Amino acid sequence: MLANPFKSSICAAFLFAPSFALADEAAEQMVKEALPLMHYTCASIAEEADGDEEFVVTVVRKMTALSLYNRQINIEDHAATDEEKAQLRETFIAALSEACAADKNALLGGVVDNAVKSTLGL
């Protein structure tokens, strides 16, 4: 089981990609990929991953993309430079880590969405 699956720099590399307006078909595909993952809690994702950090990255990336899309957020509007993006990643990972440490049974989708909101000051 991963001690803290959200602190990895590998995870950080995937979390904040630019979010652009998607065609309906692409949005539907994103929802189809993310919805089956919404049952995960902080504890259950770590348990199921069983040390496979890439699994956690994939799940969190899909949940993050859905949150950004639902909120019509383009990360480029919040961070233009690599340094600004790195700071957002660190803030996002810290928010995920803190929320999961506070409540291991919290639904990961909600934790991700709240981390997006707090990271971007929404």
Q: How many domains does the chain have?
A: 1
Q: Cα(62)–Cα(9) distance, rounded to whole angstroms?
A: 17
On whether residue 102 sits in a domain, the answer given is yes
pTM for this predicted structure: 0.74
pLDDT in tens, 55-98: 998 999 899 888 888 888 777 778 788 898 888 889 999 999 99
For 61, the token pair is 């990336």
Which domain does 53 fall in, by range? Answer: 23-120
Determine the pLDDT at residue 7.
Answer: 44
* Dihedral of alpha carbons 43, 39, 35, 109, sign: negative
On whether residue 73 sits in a domain, the answer given is yes
